[in-house]
Amino acid sequence: NSIPSSLQCFPDGNELLAAYEFLEMVKRLFADLVMGFQDGYASRSIFENHGASSAFRIIEIELGLIYDLRYTKAKIVYSSWGIAGRFIGIFLTLIVLLMVSLHETIRVTEKHRHHSKIDRTITLVLLAAALLVELWAFLQLILSDQTAYWLIKRKKITILRGIKCI
C-alpha cells in the first residue's frame, strides 16, 4: 500500500494510505462494535512501521476524515453527483455573469433604462463573488486528502503530482 517513489511532491502519501486503512477499522467503533484482536494487531503494526511524527500525521488525517464523515457533506460532495453539481454551479454562475454583463453593454430595449447604475454594479459584484466562491470550493475539492487518496488508489500519480506540485 505504499506510493511509488516517483511522487516527491506528495510526501504524505504513505500516511494517507495508512489513515484510510486505519479508518475502516475505527469506523466500527462509532457503531459501538468492539475491535477484534486482528484489528488491534493491524493498528499496532501500522504505528510500529512509522515514526512518531508519521504516526501523529496519520492520526491527524484520520481525525479529519472522521470529522468529514460525521459533520460535513463530504459523502455527497465527493460523489459523482456532487462533483457534477459543482461543475454545473460554476458553469451556470459564469453564464449568468456573462449574460448580465453583456446585457449592460448592449441595451436591448428602452424599458430597462430605469434600473439604477448602483443596482447593476451590485448585481455584477455579487455574481463575480459567487463565481469566486464556487471556484474556491472547487479548488478545495481538488486539493483535498480524499482526492489525493482517490488518485493514488487509481494510480493516477501524474495527475496528483501536477496538483500537489503547483
pLDDT tier, 45 (very low <50, low <70, confident <90, very high otherwise): confident
Place of cell 512509522: 50
In angstroms, the CA 71 to CA 88 distance is: 24
pLDDT tens readout for residues 90-104: 999 999 999 988 876
pLDDT tens readout for residues 79-136: 889 889 999 999 999 999 999 888 766 655 555 556 678 888 899 999 999 999 999 9
Which amino acid is it at 14? Answer: N
CA atoms within 13 A on the CB side of 111: 0
In angstroms, the CA 91 to CA 121 distance is: 21
- What kind and span of H or E run contains 102? helix 80-105
